[in-house]
Amino acid sequence: MKTSYSFDEQFEFKGRAKTWSLIMIAVGLIGIAYGFLSGAGERTFANLLLMGYYFTCVCICGIFFCAVQYVAQAGWSVSILRIPQAFAKVLPIAAVVLLVIICSGLFITHTGLNEEGKQTVLPYLYKQWALNGVATKGSENYNAVIAGKSGFLNVPFFLTRIVLYLGCYSLLGWLLVKYSNNEDELGGMFNYKKSFKVSVLFLVIFGFTIPLFAFDSIMSLEAHWFSTMFGWYNFAALWVSGMAAITLTLILLRQNGYIQWVTVDHLHNMGQLMFGFSVFWTYLWFGQFLLTWYANLPEEAAYFYRRWEPEFKPWFWLNIVINFATPLLVLMSRDSKRMVKVLKVACIILILGHWLDYWQMIMPGTVGPLSHWYTEIGIIEAAVFVGFAGMFMFFMLNALSKFKSLAPKRHPLLEESLHHHI
């Protein structure tokens, strides 16, 4: 086994990867323009929120992955840490993008029907609780249930919370990357110990706030409904989709001649984690579904009722098939996790699958049913997805190219990772 590598090789962001990511961004911009010009403003905004949230979650997952490895003092993952670190470096950009989307969604208005069916002025996003006068008695938009929640669900506090979550995550992610870069320069245990402390802090903050982040940005779209499972359900989606993105990046970099020290054993571990957490995701999905189904309380069942409409039902079931059955059948056996091609396909399926997962969390409560089930996903959805995927590729690869080496070369556990064998 070869165990000495030159870690000083830098990633060069040029050529096809750069061209394609820019083309993808252009496709996204055209899609967004098409969405607004064709009068589907609310649908475009819902898609922007979806992808802004997805983009942010994948970047947060990079920090979470690093933090988990540091806190567990895991050795196997050291040689791949630069990829999640590159994800972490993109988080500030993703956070700004998400904030811009949320702010424009809140402050740009259009006329539409409120919950009473009356014509009124609505914001594009969070129309259930962010419309004017929803908490003012006597206003035609007054809604007693939402008014009762307005202490938490009001625009200033909402924005403060989002800024706080994303600010905290970005800051701690930035620190983790900084310590790792310092470690490359200086060596020794000093930076490793600091990374450990920052990771612990991150995990505590993350654990308490990530469900709230999901409650705020996604669950509040349907502000009448609530589920305490929703936060962890979203966390599972974040972890699986982020891990799929990390693994796909690893595989593609490896195919292009970089990071040759990443062996099939590292990929096997990533496959195991994706498999395991797909089952965890299903567990949470089912936990939320079973309790709602069993109790059958109108205010809870409304959520699933909306997803049970003929326009959404095929997608609702497809979500389970893609995100549970596919990893279960494809990734269960040891051999398939060790076949890079199979793993690559599984990653792509999971990335698309969790897009569908987020999609069916957002669309029924915002855009609502359109004419047919197959017109629910169209050009706007595809274009916005492609655009954000391109943007993620562009910024992530750009961040990766700024690292002076593609592995934390003085990490105390690096040797263990190079000899990783399962």
Does residue 296 belong to the site contacting another protein (CB under 8 A)? Answer: yes
Q: Which residues contact 372 (CB under 8 A, 6 or more apart)?
A: 311
Among the listed ranges 39-47, 94-102, 138-146, 293-301, the one in contact with another protein (CB under 8 A) is: 293-301
Residue number with CB closer to another protein (190 or 317)? 317
Which residues, 13 to 32, sit near another protein by CB under 8 A?
A: none
Q: Please say which residue, 54 or 303, places its beta carbon nearer to another protein.
A: 303
Residue 36 vs 286, nearer CB to another protein: 286
Residue 107 is encoded by which pair of tokens?
A: 């402050």
Q: How far apart are CA 98 and CA 381, in angstroms?
A: 17
Of residues 155 and 279, the one with the C-beta less far from another protein: 279
Q: State the Cα–Cα distance between residues 92 and 77, nearest whole angstrom.
A: 24
* Binding residue for another protein, selected from 33, 108, 163, 290, defined by CB under 8 A: 290
- Secondary structure of residue 113 in the 3-state scheme: strand
User: How many residues sit close enough to another protein to count as binding (CB under 8 A)?
Assistant: 10
Strands (E), 269-366: none
Nearer to another protein, 2 or 421 (CB): 421
Does 196 help bind another protein (rule: CB under 8 A)? no
Instruction: Give dist(CA 33, CA 178) in Å, integer.
Output: 38
Is residue 2 near another protein by the rule CB under 8 A? no
Closer CB to another protein, 142 or 304, in the complex: 304
**412 CB-side CA count, 13 A:** 12
CA atoms within 13 A on the CB side of 176: 35
Work out whether 294 is an interface residue with another protein (CB under 8 A).
Answer: yes
Contacts of 84 (CB under 8 A, 6+ apart): 61, 62, 63, 65, 66, 246
Q: Does 305 bind another protein (CB under 8 A)?
A: no
Nearest approach, Cβ of residue 241 and another protein (Å)? 24
Distances in whole angstroms, Cα of residue 348 to Cα of each of 37, 260, 392, 403: 31, 22, 15, 26
Question: Residues 280, 286, 304, 373: which binds another protein (CB under 8 A)?
Answer: 286
334 in contact with another protein (CB under 8 A): yes
Smallest gap from residue 283 Cβ to another protein (A): 9
Position among 5, 34, 152, 289 found at the interface with another protein (CB under 8 A): 289
Q: Which residues contact 326 (CB under 8 A, 6 or more apart)?
A: 346, 349, 350, 353
Q: How far is CA 56 from CA 59, 94, 334, in A?
A: 5, 5, 32
Name which position in 107, 190, 293, 317 contacts another protein (CB under 8 A): 293
- Binding residues for another protein, rule: CB under 8 A, are 286, 289-290, 293-294, 296, 333-334, 419, 421
